[in-house]
């Protein structure tokens, strides 16, 4: 008997009995592990967004500069979005919907934060405003497409 994981909206354990016909059943262990991983990554993202200097100090025992703290927050946004993408969705939702939610979450958080950094004036590089524009544009277009698809 051979076993493998079949990809899809819900992970399934596929076993091939001696007669060669595949049988499938939902693998609840994978769903539970995915939910736990999503919660942990999302929580880590929230901590990094809020307290990047403290978190990095506790994690690796190093000090962060202001630029390091800004990048730590952006990393927190990405981890939070990963948690959003991997959180078990309602029945009938697709992987694409989770991916769109995650990219909208990350894009919005990154655009707003980078915009606020730019207004502060201390951490402004040549790519800051183009990055704000790109994140805002992608978030806008993803949101518009999602709303149209939902209607």
Q: What are the tens digits of pLDDT across the range 81-117?
A: 999 888 877 555 677 788 888 899 999 999 999 999 9
End-to-end CA distance of the chain: 46
Both tokens assigned to 110: 């990154």
Number of neighbours of residue 84 by Cβ within 10 angstroms: 20
Give me the percent of the chain exceeding a pLDDT of 70. 79
pLDDT: which is higher, 12 or 44: 44
List Cβ neighbours of 28 (8 Å cut-off, separation of 6 or more).
none
**Residues 14-20: what's their mean pLDDT?**
53
pTM of the shown model? 0.72
Give the CA distances from residue 106 to residues 57, 96, 109, 137, in Å, rounded to whole numbers and listed in that order. 24, 15, 5, 12
């Amino acid at each position: 008997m051979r076993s493998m994981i079949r990809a899809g909206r819900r992970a399934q354990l596929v076993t091939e009995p001696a007669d060669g016909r595949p049988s499938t059943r939902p693998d609840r262990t994978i769903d539970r592990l995915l939910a736990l991983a999503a919660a942990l990554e999302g929580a880590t993202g929230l901590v990094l967004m809020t307290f990047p200097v403290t978190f990095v100090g506790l994690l690796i025992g190093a000090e962060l500069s202001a630029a390091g703290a800004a990048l730590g927050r952006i990393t927190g946004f990405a981890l939070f979005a990963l948690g959003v993408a991997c959180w078990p969705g309602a029945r009938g939702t697709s992987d694409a919907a989770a991916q769109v939610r995650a990219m909208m979450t990350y894009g919005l958080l990154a655009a707003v934060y980078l915009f606020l950094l730019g207004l502060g004036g201390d951490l402004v590089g040549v790519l800051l405003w183009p990055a704000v524009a790109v994140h805002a544009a992608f978030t806008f277009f993803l949101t518009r497409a999602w709303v149209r698809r939902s209607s």
